[in-house]
A and B are shown apart, each in its own frame.
Chain A
């Protein structure tokens, strides 16, 4: 069975500082990996995904994540955060792109002015 561990439940960070949100997964098969963002009272928005190919994937708003198979990790990073990045971030894994997602418990990123 697959599982996802998000090591930090809350991460406070000052505006324009760098941030890393950690995600580790366990699976006996090859996986697809995702980061979703959830703003208050909203659904989930796909931030970025790793399906195959380059292990470093990037989003259009400056986030990036690196798939590390040996460490079974998919940490999310941003070199300089903005107030608007304040949200809940969920790491998720699936065996293929069309099988159910298994989510972590989420990390609440709070950006402080």
Chain B
């Protein structure tokens, strides 16, 4: 059984650019969630996908968008990057009514 894997592990982008982060869910999990963890803070919920449909969203602007694919892998897209978007982005997968398992995260730095 493979765990949750995220790519890339680190990247640097310039303000105004767009970025795509990727996540492969743990085998058998049909729900994926994305979280943003700013330095020194707890993770904050961005959105959640269940069977390829967004079924929950946190307090993030529309320039944060996502996709879930038939194999339950997922992407997080962020447009028009701002300096405050610099953070660790965490992907978590789960089965219905079970706990979430997290990937190692992608560290995004916006300069």
Contact = CB atoms under 8 A, between A and B. Distances in A.
Question: Is the A/B pair a real complex?
Answer: yes
Interface of A: 4, 32, 34, 36, 41-46, 49, 90, 92, 96-106
A102 B45 contact: yes
B102 A96 contact: no
Contacts of A99: 56
B71 to A, nearest CB: 19
Interface of B: 4, 6, 31, 33, 35, 40-45, 48, 50, 56, 58, 90, 92, 94-105, 107
Contact of A96 (B90, B97, B104): B97
B90 A43 contact: yes
A44 to B, nearest CB: 4
Q: Which of B40, B42, B92 has the most A CB atoms < 10 Å from its CB?
A: B42
Contacts of B97: 96-98
B50 to A, nearest CB: 8
26 contacts: A41-B107, A42-B105, A43-B4, A43-B6, A43-B90, A43-B102, A43-B104, A43-B105, A44-B92, A46-B101, A96-B97, A97-B98, A98-B94, A98-B97, A98-B98, A100-B45, A100-B48, A100-B56, A101-B33, A101-B35, A101-B45, A101-B100, A103-B35, A103-B42, A103-B43, A105-B40
A105 B96 contact: no
Contact of A98 (B31, B44, B45): B31
B44 A103 contact: yes
B21 to A, nearest CB: 13
A104 B42 contact: yes
